[in-house]
Amino acid sequence: MMYKELYGIACDMIPRAYAPFSKFKVGAALLSKDGQVFTGCNVENSSFGATICAERTAFVKAISEGTTEFEAIAIVSSEGEAWPCGICRQFMKEFCDEDFKIITGDDENSLKVYTMEEILPEGFRL
């Protein structure tokens, strides 16, 4: 799957986001190593600690369906480019190797692609 296609799927998730507090809607599309795509959006909550990011939503859906090997994730927001927060970066590190790709950008013609190692150089696993 091409990065532009994965980015487009992430864009399709933005309208599904529930962000009444921040108004910052995020969509994600997670590509597994076997070619499946799992989508996610951010879901805010009145108890802010219960809020879940789009990236973790996609990962939790995949893991709950038995998929644990991943190739790439595309992330986009209602404001364009979006980056994983620190919690999401560490969460992804649990399931991804250093070559896992993170894709974002303002539109499909300005994509930026980084590896897990680049966005979390000192991530850890127990």
CA separation for the pair 7, 53 (Å, rounded): 17
- The residues carrying an active-site annotation are 55
46 within a domain of the structure (yes/no)? yes
Based on the structure, what is the number of domains in the chain? 1
Residue 113 belongs to domain with CATH number = 3.40.140.10
| Segment 57-67 mean pLDDT | 98
AA identity, residue 85: C
67 within a domain of the structure (yes/no)? yes
Domain that holds residue 96: 3-119
pLDDT tens figures, 96-117: 999 999 999 999 899 999 999 9
CA separation for the pair 102, 50 (Å, rounded): 24
CA separation for the pair 80, 100 (Å, rounded): 22
Whole-model pTM: value is: 0.95
pLDDT tens figures, 18-40: 999 999 999 999 999 999 999 99
